[in-house]
Structure 1
């Protein structure tokens, strides 16, 4: 490629968008395919009308803006690829979707019988979005909820032990759509995903006690469950199974095996063994990894362990 060709290619690369640019793009997407609504100053609803399955995702403008130019969150492309209708409720800042215009928008969709137009409705979100997915699921009885690291509430009178989002305690979690474990009463199925070693997440998940709730455990993923499952290629498969109505504990167990090939997970479990001073367990991890893949760092660590005075069997 000549210098001239390089210059042309550079001019064709998508330029980074500022806040106004992203909002303009989202508005265009919605108006071209279904609808766009500004919900106050810090929330937007983008709707793509397609097939009889509706997936509702709770996204953050900051996360969208952090993506490579020309790309959108995985759920947008997945919905288009699979022919799902998609409603994205987008927030800016740590609002926890508690702003009155958001609640009013959900109420309006209920009044218009919007959710009745679809054969299956799936609410999906992670963290703050998982709270919203569970809390607003009451608007669509019979829906499925897939919530990654859900919070039950941040009302300090109920969850005072969770000190990770102190500023959010100023928000009202007692008003309508407030306490997520109560709002799932009308759901057909609820699936949560969390790392049981993350104490605060485990305590929130324990508050979702209905018989139709299934808890999936993602050990050692810490506070990066959605990101890590996405990097493994597991998260889109879970979303698809939820939309297909085939998600079960067995489905998750099979998909969770992908962790055995995920470098970050393998490094995390090795670090956990090292922190616990368990050299034999360290060696077992290293042998398992080096027997299945090329992993020079694990092989080097295993050789170091085998040279120690402790018997490593």
Structure 2
């Protein structure tokens, strides 16, 4: 009998692993079929149900995800896995824009299964995501004083404590948060670095299913283990290709220092922040920013547009906008994404005389140059316009090529100026050479275009872009019509 039970468990584990690997390989239809077949054999196996539910989430089959996570909660009713199942279902309701359902679920789970520190943490975090509610210190204070907390294991105690510290900081009780951290944090305990690898506590402060704002509060410096008191907040906005399951913009250069973040994220590449009103943003950004002496906002392309549209209205916020552009804009963007129907913001950026953003752009780029000089320069009369000719829309690639991307970003955040265009470094940037090559190709100067792109290839950065352009030049040289 025991041998038969062991055999069934081993088989179900193999099936669960296969479903997960299919899903990770983006073979979602096969993962769905494999999950359905596996559950016919093992209908009450919690691990299989969990994998099947995750497949539904990845496929955005929300109805199936809800049913499967509810089943998982019943199967895990008396086990440590119950809380995880509830939290997964909460995430689905939030993704669907149904925070009320998520709150109801948490309330029922807490009432039916006794005090759960992780569920209470989720309840406190969800409560502060409602616009207009503000950040309530009482919830986090009560959670931090829970009698169950000291006896909880590190995998529960540390995430709950770190959330309480971040929650108290959000509510403006920074000294109380510091005292709480100093009472419970021990840098000799390896669990802190294992569970908070970068030293940050994370809380979601806004989530409407399409746009999410994540607050990251730095608790300690991982290399030294010393606690950190941050006086700077960086508000970041992602480029179009970034989604909220990836590292957010500017995290890598800024996170080693004493910087907290308010990262505004997107669920999908097709989300252009048209779902979030400026009033929504300010409802959470203003109280967060109020706790900091220095506030900066950064973005590239769509992120730069969003930094100007949203964060420039935060008093005292210093904005660095690199190549600002919203691909949906029906007047200033290219044809690929531009849409009068989908673009809901004002066609002209609202005039903000109180802001003095630094706008870095290529005046020779047809879209960026026209947008900055005809619209943004009017909207921000106090703006500093830094022109980087022939560096293209991807100015950050040029800055990386010439070795100043990180230092320029850090210098701006530290209160210094952003560097002006340095003509002497042009020839060391493959991005600059490719942009000149494109101009020569359009002008019919094919030999010059080819020489520029070959030089870009020698320099090495982004060689696939150079090879793609070289094919176009060779095609033109051979007299073959472009498609």
Return the TM-score normalized by structure 2: 0.45
Ranges in structure 2 where 5+ consecutive residues have no aligned partner: 1-22, 27-53, 59-90, 93-124, 126-158, 164-199, 219-229, 461-465, 467-483
Contact 2:272–2:326 (CA under 8 A) maintained in structure 1: no
Deviations 1:155-194 (A, max 9, x none): 64xx2775343236423213xxx85352x4322x311122
CA contact (8 A) 2:323 2:394 kept: no
Aligned residue among 244, 263, 266 for 2:430: 263
CA shift in 2, pair 1:57/1:226, >3 Å: same
Cα shift readout 1:139-166 (whole Å, capped 9, x = no counterpart): 312221111221389664xx27753432
CA 1:232–1:48: 2 relative to 1, 3 Å? farther
Answer yes or no: is the 8 Å Cα contact 1:152–1:205 preserved in 2.
Answer: no
- Quote the residue 2:349 is aligned against: 180
Alignment of 1:56-205 (within 5 A): 56-59=235-238, 62-63=241-242, 72-73=247-248, 75-93=250-268, 94-100=270-276, 103-110=279-286, 112=287, 114-151=288-325, 156=330, 159=331, 163-167=335-339, 169-174=341-346, 179-182=348-351, 184-187=352-355, 189-205=356-372
Distance 1:214 1:100, change over 3 A: closer
Runs of 4+ residues deviating >4 angstroms: 15-21, 64-67, 152-156, 277-286
Structure 1 segments unaligned to the other structure (5+ residues): 1-14, 298-313
Return closer, same or farther for 1:17/1:195 CA change in 2, 3 Å cut-off. farther
Alpha-carbon shift at residue 84 of structure 1 (Å):
1.4
Displacement after TM superposition at 1:62 (Å): 4.6
Q: Distance in 2 between matches of 1:65 and 1:128?
A: 15
The aligned counterpart of 2:210 is 42
Count of matched residue positions in the alignment of Structure 1 and Structure 2: 260
Query: How far apart are the structure 2 equivalents of 1:65 and 1:42?
Result: 10
1:257/1:17 Cα in 2 relative to 1: closer, same or farther (>3 Å)? farther
Q: Tell me, yes or no, if the aligned pair for 1:152 and 1:180 is still in contact at 8 Å.
A: no
With CA pairs under 8 Å and 6+ residues apart, which has the higher RCO, 1 or 2?
1
Query: Does the aligned pair in 1 maintain the 2:359–2:384 contact within 8 Å?
Result: yes
Which protein shows a greater Rg?
Answer: 2
Instruction: Indicate whether 1:52 and 2:226 are aligned.
Output: no
More strand as a share of residues: 1
CA RMSD of aligned residues (A): 4.2
- For residues 259-312 of structure 1, the C-alpha deviation after alignment (integer angstroms, 9 at most, x for no partner) is 4312242243245335435589779979xx79x989xx9xxxxxxxxxxxxxxx
Asked if the contact 2:296/2:317 (under 8 Å) is kept, the reply is: yes
After TM superposition, give the deviation of residue 75 of structure 1 in Å.
1.3
The separation in 1 between residues aligned to 2:25 and 2:401, in whole angstroms, is 24
Which secondary structure state, in structure 2, belongs to the residue aligned with residue 252 of structure 1?
coil
For residue 302 of structure 1, what is the aligned residue in structure 2? none
Relative to structure 1, is the Cα distance of residues 201 and 62 closer, same or farther in structure 2, using a 3 angstrom cutoff? closer
| Structure 1 position 56, deviation (Å) | 0.9
